Chain A
Amino acid sequence: MPEVPVLELKDVSKHFGGVRAVDGVDLAVARGEILALIGPNGSGKSTIVNLICGLFPLTAGRIVLDGADISDMPMHARVSGGVARTFQNIRLFGQLTVWQNLWVAQNSGEQRRQGFGRRWFGGSRSARGEVERTLEFFDLAHKSNELAANLAFGEQRRLEFARALSAKPALLLLDEPAAGMNAEEIDQLDNRIRKVRDDGVTILLIEHHMELVMSIADRIAVLNFGRKIAEGTPASVQANPVVREAYLGTPEQV
């Protein structure tokens, strides 16, 4: 019997006025996989991430997380439910330190069950240790006391990833994490995504960098004009003429 998917989009649509940014998309993300979502600019990839995390309401359809309908849940409750994300355009608390960004992003079930005083005023050793480990993992330990706004671009990208991961998500939504990175940084990113997946986190990866996508994704779904036009293994998607026509074949992607 197939397992319940971590996330299911059921006939999901989002229209902005006349723009059908997302138009009747069905998508299931299985536990433990890396599902890449690709497609041309403006095809609705970021909109799907925004819908999953609750940034704006659906026009139609349902979103189901771990078998529970979260379509009408407020954003913070979805984080508690296990969804965390990064932004295509870096979005951090620039006036806070790297440490603070990560410390308060922690949102494990254990912390939520703590009483008001412990949760908000307690500085538990394990929480601090957790920040230290995350800093190490993302090679940010030396920047711990720096304001996020003062970091270099690559560091900010890592901090975004680290911040999302600090919530201990079951499902991580990465919106173009490789954008603006050089080859070496993309290599490190590739490693980190794999390690996070190996730790049991399911990943929905949106990316234009095809080399990364093809090397790392278990499955790929392709969007075009808000509709899903293909879904399958990297090899099958790459070979799909419809996808080549709509996206992969465009000269800029060579």
Chain B
Amino acid sequence: MDDYLVGVLSNIGIVSFIALSAWLLLLTGEISFGQQAFFAIGAYAAGIATALWGWPLGAALGWSAAIAGGAAVLVGVPTLRLHGLYFAIATLGFAEMVRLLFEQFHYRVMIDGELVGPNGSDGFRGIRYIFENDVGSLQFLALIYLLLAAALAGFMLLERSRLGVAFRMIGEDDTLAALNGLAVARLKILAAGLAGALAGLGGGLYAHLTTYVEPRVFDVMLGVHSLAYGLIGGLGTALGPLLGVVIDIGLLESVRAFAGYRMIVFGGLVAVLLIVRPRGLLDEALVHRIGRLFVRAPPAGP
């Protein structure tokens, strides 16, 4: 495969994690513009773990998911009391705060005669795990998609579980959900934690793909895109946000014809879709209809 294609596919895979993260919150009815904060936390955490502490990649990725998930729970406890616009703005404020903190974050260690580690707004260079361990770009691509497949499998399981249905109930009508006996606040915090962990895992992969992270990357635009992917792709299935990512990165960013017009086309697409298909391309009704094609009709009565 040529390098360009591997690069695009890696990108699509990694961005899918943060798109899924924002989508999971959308499912529970919350709009977050701040999932990039957890992506950033995961990126720094995983980078520090391999480059500074000498951890193996697997442990570092687990750690990035855990710490980002934990951070999301801590942030979720106060912010999820807010609703709608107020929650959205709180997430945005939090994410900007995290970005500014990383601009001040210095943690450098002398390794092999060289200072390595986060260096404020200059970023964090030298996350060289995949070079030092001879992980090829195709191999890393396989790792990304393996983890993405695992995440999707998790979502498929979730959709069939009470918990998944409960998340959707909360998203559709949280008062009625509470009147169904669901502890809405606790379940929302759980969703926020899972969403944070997903974004953190994506961040951990990102840090090792690029070998270098800087706070600038984790700006509001990343959060807005992540959210938009789910809105474009649809709320009906976890494949929705992935479709959104493929449309944006696979089509608009990578095809020459759209060069220079990406943001215009993307913004227009979001605006049009919000009007004609407010719950996205793969919305619940469509997913339900497709699902029925694959489920055998119930056996006829006696």
Binding site for B on A (CB under 8 A): 53, 55, 74-76, 79-80, 84-85, 91-97, 100, 103-105, 107, 119-123, 144-145, 147, 163, 167
Contacts and interface: CB of A to CB of B under 8 A. Distances in A.
Given A75-B179, A167-B180, 17 more contacts: A75-B175, A76-B178, A76-B180, A79-B179, A79-B180, A80-B181, A91-B176, A93-B173, A94-B172, A100-B165, A100-B168, A104-B166, A105-B180, A120-B162, A121-B161, A123-B162, A147-B285
Given A75-B175, A95-B168, A107 B181 contact: yes
Contacts of B292: 145
Dominant secondary structure at the B interface: helix
B6 interface: no
A55 B179 CA distance: 9
Q: Which of B157, B175, B178, B184 has the most CB of A within 10 A?
A: B178
Contact of A103 (B162, B288, B295): B162
6 contacts: A53-B179, A79-B178, A93-B172, A95-B168, A121-B163, A167-B180
B167 to A, nearest CB: 10
A158 to B, nearest CB: 17
Nearest to A118: B162
A147 to B, nearest CB: 6
Contacts of B169: 93, 96, 104
A39 to B, nearest CB: 23
B290 to A, nearest CB: 13
Contacts of A93: 168-169, 172-173, 176
Interface residues of B, number: 26
Nearest to B295: A145
Interface of B: 157, 160-163, 165-166, 168-169, 172-173, 175-176, 178-184, 284-285, 288, 292, 295, 298
List the 3 shortest-distance A-B pairs measured between CB atoms, nearest first: A79-B181, A107-B181, A120-B163
A75 B182 CA distance: 9
Contact of A76 (B163, B181, B288): B181
A131 to B, nearest CB: 12
A147 B295 CA distance: 15
Contacts of B288: 97, 147
Contacts of A100: 165, 168
